[in-house]
Chains A and B, each alone.
Chain A
């Protein structure tokens, strides 16, 4: 059994490290940064991780995960194409310079679409 343990350790050390998988929209250098961002998303929507992820196998594609990717793409596009180009006066006046999930969701799974007084 000791021999088997050492053999498997050798095999394990020899296996080449893989690039982070599953990331199709987000770009994070470390897992810690990714977790921090994911927690902020969960907080903005008022949900737990299970809302989008199958925690038994996080690589499984779920319907909510697909929607989340589209939302993240939209947010990224808007921030890069519009908000990044705002004039300095917007920034100096403390206006919102980027959007996040919170901008629309406000702690709810589905953003409120009804206008006040409608």
Chain B
């Protein structure tokens, strides 16, 4: 238990996450709102000054946001930040209810626009009381055929980049039911550090983006190139109906991952889904993860969410899969604040495991 709490308290997110359904709802790529050309993390001036200020928060407190804040502190330099604190209430193995509160993310971003074609980004994240992590890249854009390239230290552009790293298509449960399985999710866990990477992006059409990258391994420490990732993403639609789809492939030594995803948005309702397969991730078998999300925007700033996560470490073995059902609210009271409330219920295909009451989650996310 002490070890578990230690991990909970010291583990902070080191991966730039995003909310793909926002891209889906707007019928645009993630880069429309984020500084990163593949999305996630620091928001750009449109993300700050239009979406976060006008389209996301509850209208009741919308005017408390500042029209002047777009992230730029000089003509060329932007700053931003992401800070998350999470509280959890869950039933422990001894059937007692435990509650924990822990810092989850503390990132400060800077982006220097060198000129129309080049920018330099860095993200400093607090990992624990005594260590920090750093992500950085140089981004060259407006290259031939509107292509771009990035080089630095950041995560490869793989799969549906959900904000929730506990989804099994990302890294899964880090400790909740781990006593039953060796691994409860795919490889993108908060434990891995960003590799040194060279990435190319080519918009095949304005709404169709192809990226490919070569990087040092993310599953082990090495300075040799050992990771290849490629990703195609399409997003389109109009005012009432929009859609997205994509496919990703990641290879590192004998580990192969492939993920397909899609989503449809109609009026206030959004569906997002993904299926991810990994070869040789758990022993030498085939692992499968599924993600389904239905979101309904009750009013601006208040979203009802239902999610289903599934993970089977080895599809050749009849037992041993895990499912998780989540129901919750995503609230955006202000242009700098997101509050997540969720009830989660794990269902393990094992006679040894029984979750009597749902796990309750409260997360506050400050961003600017």
Residue positions of A touching B, CB distance < 8 A: 1-2, 4-5, 8-9, 11-13, 15-18, 21, 30-32, 35-36, 39, 48-51, 54-57, 60
Contacts and interface: CB of A to CB of B under 8 A. Distances in A.
B229 interface: no
Given A55-B26, A57-B206, A13 B118 contact: yes
Interface in B143-175: 146, 149, 151-152
Contact of A56 (B29, B55, B75, B196): B29
A56 B117 contact: no
Contacts of B119: 12
Interface string B52-74: 00110000000000010010100
Interface residues of B, number: 38
Contacts of B239: 50-51
Given A4-B151, A8-B138, A12-B140, A39 B206 contact: no
Contacts of A48: 26, 55
B45 A31 contact: yes
Contacts of B140: 8, 11-12
A35 B32 contact: no
Contact of A36 (B29, B67, B235): B67
Nearest to B209: A56
A32 B206 contact: no
A9 B50 contact: no
A37 to B, nearest CB: 12
Interface in B16-55: 26-29, 31-32, 45-46, 49-50, 54-55
Given A11-B140, A12-B138, A30-B75, A56 B70 contact: no
Contact of B151 (A8, A18, A55): A8
**Sorted from nearest, which 10 A-B pairs have the closest CB atoms?**
A12-B118, A17-B115, A57-B206, A55-B32, A18-B116, A55-B28, A56-B206, A1-B196, A15-B117, A56-B29
Nearest to A15: B117
Given A8-B138, A9-B120, A35 B49 contact: yes
Nearest to B140: A12
15 contacts: A2-B196, A5-B151, A5-B152, A8-B149, A11-B140, A13-B118, A18-B117, A35-B50, A48-B26, A50-B28, A51-B239, A54-B207, A56-B29, A56-B206, A57-B206
Nearest to B72: A32
Nearest to B215: A1
Nearest to B238: A50
B315 interface: no
Contacts of B151: 1, 4-5, 8
A79 to B, nearest CB: 23
A56 B203 contact: yes
B152 A12 contact: no
Given A1-B198, A60-B206, A15 B115 contact: yes
Given A1-B151, A12-B118, 19 more contacts: A5-B152, A8-B140, A9-B138, A13-B114, A15-B114, A15-B117, A17-B116, A18-B115, A18-B117, A31-B45, A32-B45, A36-B67, A39-B49, A54-B206, A55-B26, A56-B28, A56-B31, A56-B203, A56-B235
Which has the most chain B C-beta neighbours within 10 Å: A1, A17, A32?
A: A1
A21 B106 CA distance: 36
B300 to A, nearest CB: 12
B50 A39 contact: yes
B203 A57 contact: yes
Contact of A12 (B50, B54, B120, B206): B120
B241 to A, nearest CB: 13
B26 A32 contact: no
A48 to B, nearest CB: 7
Contacts of A4: 151, 198
Contacts of B198: 1, 4
Given A1-B198, A15-B118, A35-B70, A50 B152 contact: no
Contacts of B138: 5, 8-9, 12
Contacts of B27: 50
Nearest to A7: B151
Contacts of A18: 115-117
